[in-house]
């Protein structure tokens, strides 16, 4: 099998970090062309450093990492240190990574890489605010014909918001960029809170990962241990939702998920409901179907996949 070329656009973030590990552990299926970073969970200076740290921990200092937009397309930046800690990846020890930061801006990398690629060949995997993706599409709409599909973490329907009563963090952080992306016309699969809230990193699951006794598994267990504290209190659940790795898991094993083709529109007008994703799950409008909305997941199967892949990093 020829591995699928992907660009991961992220804001690590403990769960982004686990998504990176899951992707790096799967070279037969995924060819990571680059990792682009954006201001999100923490400012850009930290998200780009954190992405490079994860490449070091996973032994892939050769993956090109780019820094992108420091600010959303229109609004002021929001961050989430109260969830992720001041470093964005509290739970692991911080070090200066060997993986270099590329000079090119992330948006330039996305545009150039897509324009150079075959038609409908590259998969975009955004797991943070969509500022880089939205800016790239606005700058050079011609890139879209080179996109195979987009698999994105963001939005919510039944679960309501996690950053405001109506909105999920990634979409609220840059609703205008999200609106551009969802209107782009390429196939989009969405991992919103309705599904990520089913993927709970319980103590038992984290213990199984820790028991693998390799540095990637230890880093994962450390970060999830930290992540656990805030979210279990907030949701009264047995573990924190592991949002971002759902995107990579879908690329590796789509049969774990159930999706429905429908319309998703982003609220960009009302301050009260800014960033809300109006998902027309029951097809009550004639708005065009622009997303595969994911609504169910085999969570045990997900953790089996994750644990199995992290075991590949050895003992
Ligand atoms: C999303 O926001 C961030 O906190 C996580 O990394 C994830 O991408 C969940 O709402
Ligand atoms: Ca994220």
CATH number at residue 274: 3.90.245.10
Total Cβ atoms within 10 A of residue 239: 20
Range list of β-strands (E), 14-138: 30-37, 65-67, 101-105, 122-126
Residue 1: per-residue pLDDT: 83
Spacing of C-alpha 41 from chain mean position: 11
* Helices and strands (DSSP H and E) totals, the chain: 12, 13
Cα–Cα dist 168/146, whole Å: 28
Query: Which candidate, 206, 212, 277, places its Cα nearest to that of 240?
Result: 206
Which sign, positive or negative, has the C-alpha torsion 294, 297, 301, 305?
Answer: positive
By most ligand atoms within 8 Å of CB, the mutation choice from 171, 243, 245 for ligand 1 is 243
Q: Which atom from ligand 1 is nearest to the alpha carbon of 15?
A: 6
Q: How many domains does the chain have?
A: 1
Residue 147 phi/psi, 5° resolution? -85, 130
Residue 264's H or E segment, with its range, is strand 264-266
Please list all protein residues whose beta carbon sits less than 5 angstroms from ligand 2, which is an ion.
11, 13, 16, 127-128, 244
What pairing do the DSSP bridges indicate for beta strands 239-241 and 257-262?
unpaired
Note down pLDDT in tens along the chain; length 315 residues.
Answer: 899 999 999 999 999 999 999 999 999 999 999 999 999 999 999 999 999 999 999 999 999 999 999 999 999 999 999 988 999 999 999 999 999 999 999 999 999 999 999 999 999 999 999 999 999 999 999 999 999 999 999 999 999 999 999 999 999 999 999 999 999 999 999 999 999 999 999 999 999 999 999 999 999 999 998 877 666 777 777 788 999 999 999 999 999 999 999 999 999 999 999 999 999 999 999 999 999 999 999 999 999 999 999 999 987
Q: Which domain holds residue 136?
A: 4-314
List, chain by chain if needed, residues with CB within 6 Å of any ligand 1 atom: 13, 15-16, 41, 80, 83, 127-128, 153, 162, 168-170, 243-244
Cα–Cα dist 153/163, whole Å: 14
Total Cβ atoms within 10 A of residue 193: 22
Residue 226: per-residue pLDDT: 85
Q: Which of 243, 276, 292, 295 is catalytic?
A: 243
Query: Which candidate, 17, 247, 296, 277, places its Cα nearest to that of 164?
Result: 277
Residue 241 phi/psi, 5° resolution? -65, 135
DSSP state for residue 3 in the 8-state scheme: P
Query: Which candidate, 167, 145, 157, places its Cα nearest to that of 282?
Result: 157
């Amino acid at each position: 099998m020829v591995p699928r070329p992907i660009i991961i656009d992220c804001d690590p973030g403990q769960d982004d970090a686990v998504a990176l590990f899951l992707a790096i552990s799967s070279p037969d299926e995924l060819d990571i062309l680059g990792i682009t970073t954006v201001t999100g969970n923490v400012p850009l200076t930290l998200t780009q450093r954190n992405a490079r740290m994860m490449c070091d921990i996973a032994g892939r200092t050769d993956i090109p990492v780019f820094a992108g937009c420091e600010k959303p397309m229109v609004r002021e930046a929001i961050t989430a240190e109260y969830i992720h800690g001041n470093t964005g990846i509290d739970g692991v020890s911080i070090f200066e990574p060997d993986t270099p930061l590329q000079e090119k801006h992330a948006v330039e990398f996305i545009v150039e890489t897509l324009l150079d690629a075959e038609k409908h060949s590259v998969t975009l995997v955004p797991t943070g605010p969509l500022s880089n993706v939205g800016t790239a599409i606005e700058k050079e709409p011609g890139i879209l014909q080179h996109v195979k599909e987009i698999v994105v973490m963001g939005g919510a329907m039944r679960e309501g918001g996690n950053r405001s009563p109506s909105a999920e963090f990634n979409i609220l952080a840059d609703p205008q960029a999200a609106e551009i992306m969802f209107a782009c016309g390429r196939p989009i699969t969405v991992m919103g809170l309705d599904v990520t809230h089913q993927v709970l990193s319980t103590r038992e699951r984290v213990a199984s990962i820790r028991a693998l006794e390799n540095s990637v598994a230890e880093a994962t267990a450390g970060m999830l241990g930290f992540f656990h504290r805030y979210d279990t209190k907030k949701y009264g659940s047995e573990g924190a939702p592991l949002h971002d790795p759902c995107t990579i898991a879908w690329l590796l094993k789509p049969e774990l998920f159930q999706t429905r083709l429908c319309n998703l529109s982003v609220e960009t007008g009302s301050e009260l409901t800014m960033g809300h994703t109006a998902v027309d799950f029951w097809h009550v409008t004639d708005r065009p179907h622009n997303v595969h909305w994911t609504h169910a997941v085999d969570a045990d199967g997900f953790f089996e996949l994750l644990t199995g892949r992290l075991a590949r990093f050895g003992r």
